[in-house]
A = this chain, B = another copy of it.
Amino acid sequence: MAGHTLTAIALIISTAIALIISTALSAVIVPQQNSSQWQDWSLSPSQRAANLLPQLAWEEKIAQMGGIRQLLGVNATFNRTTWDTLYPLQHGILSYGNQLNSAQDVLRMANMVREEQLNSSFKIPWISVTDSVNSIYVTGGTIFPATLSLSSSWNLPLYEQVVAAIRDENVALGTKWVLSPELDVAKDPRNGRVDVYLIGEFTARYLKTMQERDENGFIKVACTIKHFLYGQGMGGVNTASMDGGANHLYNDLAVPYIRAIQEDPVSIMISYSSVDRVPMSMNTKLVQGMLRNEMGFEGMIMSDAMGILHLHTESRVASSYEDAAVKALKAGLQIELAPGQPACFPFLVNRSDDSEIEQLVTEAARHMLEVKFATGMFDLPLSSEEILNQTLRAEKHLEVNRQASRESLVLLQNDGILPKSGLGKVAVLGPLADIIDAGSYGPINSANPHNGQSLRRSLEAKLGTENVFYEQGVEINNSSDGSGINAAIAAAQKAGLAIISLGSLSVYFYDPNVASRTDGEFFSHPDLGFPGEQQQLLDAVLDAGVPTILVLGGGQAFVLNNSTMRANAIIHSFLGGEFTGDALVETITGMVNPSGKLTISMPQAQGAFPIYYDYLPSDNVGGFAAVCSGDWTLPCLNRSDPPMAFGYGLSYTTFEISAPQVSAGDSVEVSCTVTNTGVVAGKEVVQVYYDQEYSTIELPNKRLIRFEKVDLQPGGSQNVNFSIDRDEMGYYVDAKYQVGSGNYTFWIGSSSRAQDLQNTTVTL
């Protein structure tokens, strides 16, 4: 054996990877035991392996754990130099390389290297491991329909025959191991989907057939089932991450709660959601365990409206209303908010003999009393109509509202048309132009508000009724005869400027426009374009060549297609208040310089979501942008930041933000200088993001950690300093908070987009 070992060592040190193993050479021990029992067919594979194993050198064991990926290159070429380089530590498994080589070429070369190997030290043979889906891996075999096609046959015996044929062709090629079948259950059609039972049955037939024993009892073709575990990758992106437990909850969803609990909220409401198949209203692990015990929340825990009842009526995890009440109580719920009838908690009245229930009810009552004491309910006088009238719509409230309305508008696009100080005649168009869309919790009559006014009315107040040509054009969500669009085009052409207000409507159930609702609670919708025929209205006005300012309304992101992007300016007003119409007019005319920034990212295509700037690194590698421009990686379509990303928004002036200065001590000090380089006053939101080079679990590629809104006169400049405790830059691993050391990158700039940020790195 010593001779063999010397040969092996000589081979190893002649290779390019000699460096990495040099320190290990002294540790190489060749067992002197020499036995050939492993050659005895009559023993089991297990017994034979047990005999052979002690005879392997350390490197041999390592080498069995890897292999050669490319036996042959294009046109059946064999690169001996590369082969010899990799061989010493990678000679367990053999793959064939180029898929378009012929089976005959592959077999010849595979047999050659197999023979070489069998003449080497331990005679441990190569095993070929290849993909094999609807054929052998290389050309020359039978090409069957692919798996998704075959599954559509719902014919298991036929499927067995297909697998047997593929198996036999593999064996003939010397392929004894295939990377099949695939068991992944992808419920998103962007990544395929078949039923779990159906996959299981097809898989079982595949394995029985492919791994059938030959007449000697040997497995014909071994299988690797894959890919454990991969389900609905984020956004349907190939290889993207899956949410699935405490690390996701703690490092994403729970982050704002952890921050909020520092401010002692009196109570927390439990969501409707089922998390991991357990409705939150009975989720003891997440309510009692995570929220109470781990996060330390001490306030009252409240159901959402009918949330407890749903345990019985919807989720069917409680067999009665009383059972639902007990489960919710034991999970930690203490108030049943706005119950449907029958309410569930009243059924607890029967359960006072149960000491656990009695104790929990008592505790809930104690909690409620404390709230009432703390809020002065026992002690303060009742409010009066006089107080009410003095307070509601107080002048200072209205002034704050005006300012909030101005700063909430986000200018998304502007070719220079804005600001338009000398606004003369204008056509105001679209189904949102003459209503106030305040959201489903805004107690206002959207069509006929008692206070405040629509964009149309604000324009009329500013320009005079005679200068404002209003046409609704289309309804929010219904089809029309097109006459409204023609009237809108005529109005636009007459005025020479169009302001078009489009979007989605979210109003309360008692609102007169409720039948036109398209968004808000209960109104989830898969399509992020404009509802109804709104796009046609916009296209028609743009086609007519009239300069156009597009005002978006609605509590959502929209997909702005290429046609929409022809608008000269785009402003998103989201769900506006009573002064949003005024604020839009002030902004359009330049009395107000817009300063809002997006807090959601706008997706670039239908279906291209979820979308957010703080994706995980592995979520951004699912597509080959260089090969196919239409592919889809998480942050956007073309693997760069989407144009209208989190933090993005335009101004009528320009700002320069200097590169960040960073110094690190107990805290990290990040600073920069912001300068208003334009000719009008304006506000810029300076944003600080950070990332850690290496971490214990995957962390987002960057995260917002500070921001400040800075108000600057033209030419004005201000130094902005951010102090960040090191403790703030940690993350949770299995619910335990930890702060890492190593390199951190800090970005500073005007949005989350790479082109709007400058960075520096510091070691902590």
Contacts and interface: CB of A to CB of B under 8 A. Distances in A.
A507 to B, nearest CB: 10
A231 interface: yes
List 7 tightest A-B contacts by C-beta distance, closest first: A218-B376, A200-B259, A226-B269, A227-B271, A146-B575, A222-B266, A45-B373
Contacts of A442: 133-135, 143, 146
Given A192-B600, A443-B139, A397 B169 contact: yes
Given A158-B407, A350-B20, A618-B314, A277 B259 contact: no
Contacts of A86: 341, 343
B342 A225 contact: no
Contacts of A439: 133-134, 146
Contacts of A53: 362, 365-366, 369
23 contacts: A67-B337, A129-B337, A140-B392, A145-B408, A146-B442, A149-B574, A152-B410, A153-B408, A153-B595, A169-B392, A181-B260, A193-B599, A196-B255, A196-B703, A207-B265, A218-B380, A230-B253, A241-B277, A244-B275, A319-B694, A477-B630, A523-B628, A526-B637
A438 interface: yes
A56 B270 CA distance: 27
Nearest to A410: B152
Number of copies: 2
Interface string A437-457: 011011111000111100000
Interface stretch (A382-390, A485-493, A669-677): A382-390
Given A142-B397, A229-B254, 9 more contacts: A45-B370, A46-B370, A66-B339, A89-B346, A183-B256, A222-B267, A230-B272, A314-B618, A523-B631
A89 B349 contact: yes
Interface in A626-647: 627-628, 630-633, 637, 646
Interface stretch (A511-519, A652-660, A713-721): A511-519
A188 to B, nearest CB: 4
Contacts of A131: 441
A459 interface: no
Contact of A189 (B90, B302, B390, B609): B609
A242 B763 CA distance: 37
A480 interface: no
A431 interface: no
B260 A368 contact: no
Nearest to A691: B316
Which of the listed residues A145, A256, A452 has the most CB atoms from chain B within 10 Å of its own CB?
A: A145
A746 interface: no
Interface in A334-367: 334-339, 341-343, 345-353, 361-362, 364-366
B618 A272 contact: yes
A292 B383 CA distance: 65
* Interface band, chain A: 35 or more
A693 interface: yes
Nearest to A634: B524
B256 A510 contact: no
A142 B398 contact: yes
A517 B277 contact: no
B255 A277 contact: no
Contact of A443 (B135, B239, B271, B633): B135
Contacts of A433: none
A596 B159 CA distance: 13
B224 A266 contact: yes
Interface in A387-408: 387-394, 396-398, 400-401, 403-405, 407-408
Interface SS of chain A: helix, strand, loop or mixed? loop
Contact of A272 (B194, B227, B353): B227
A232 B274 CA distance: 11
A494 B174 CA distance: 52
A698 to B, nearest CB: 5
Contacts of A452: 143
A249 B256 contact: no
A540 interface: no
B361 A61 contact: yes
Nearest to A321: B20
A195 B704 contact: yes
A496 interface: no
A326 interface: no
Interface stretch (A1-9, A416-424, A576-584, A754-762): A576-584
Contacts of A62: 345-346, 348-349, 361
B270 A227 contact: yes
A310 interface: yes
A243 to B, nearest CB: 6
Interface in A206-224: 207-208, 211, 214, 216, 218-224
Interface string A55-69: 010111110111101
A118 to B, nearest CB: 9
A8 to B, nearest CB: 13
A242 B243 contact: yes
B204 A260 contact: yes
A64 B365 contact: yes
Contacts of A269: 179, 224-228
Given A58-B352, A253-B231, A408-B153, A392 B172 contact: yes
Contact of A385 (B104, B181, B578): B104
A165 interface: yes
A407 B145 CA distance: 10
A402 to B, nearest CB: 10
A34 to B, nearest CB: 16
A453 B389 CA distance: 82
A137 interface: yes
Interface string A578-614: 1010000000000000011111111101111111111
Contact of A369 (B52, B243, B685): B52
A560 interface: no
